Amino acid sequence: DLFARVESAIKKLHSYETPEIIAVPIVNGSKEYLKWLDESLE
């Protein structure tokens, strides 16, 4: 799964012994921001 792959990469690259690695659901947001976010992550 994507989270597991991202988590593994962060652990390999990050200098902290225990970096904060979390997934936070987006419950709501401004229409413009969510559109920008969606386009930026493609």
CATH classification of the domain holding 7: 3.30.70.120
Structural domain boundaries, residue 11:
2-40
Confidence (pLDDT) at 42: 82
Please indicate, yes or no, whether the overall pTM of this predicted structure exceeds 0.85. no
What is the number of domains present in the chain?
Answer: 1
What b/e sequence results for 21-37 when a residue is b if at least 16 CB atoms lie within 10 Å of its CB, and e otherwise? eeeeeeeeeeeeeeeee
**Which residues have a Cβ under 8 Å from the Cβ of 19 and sit 6 or more positions away?**
10, 11
Confidence (pLDDT) at 2: 93
Whether 3 has a pLDDT exceeding 90, the answer reads: yes
pLDDT digits (tens, 9 = 90+) for 6-25: 999 999 999 999 999 999 99
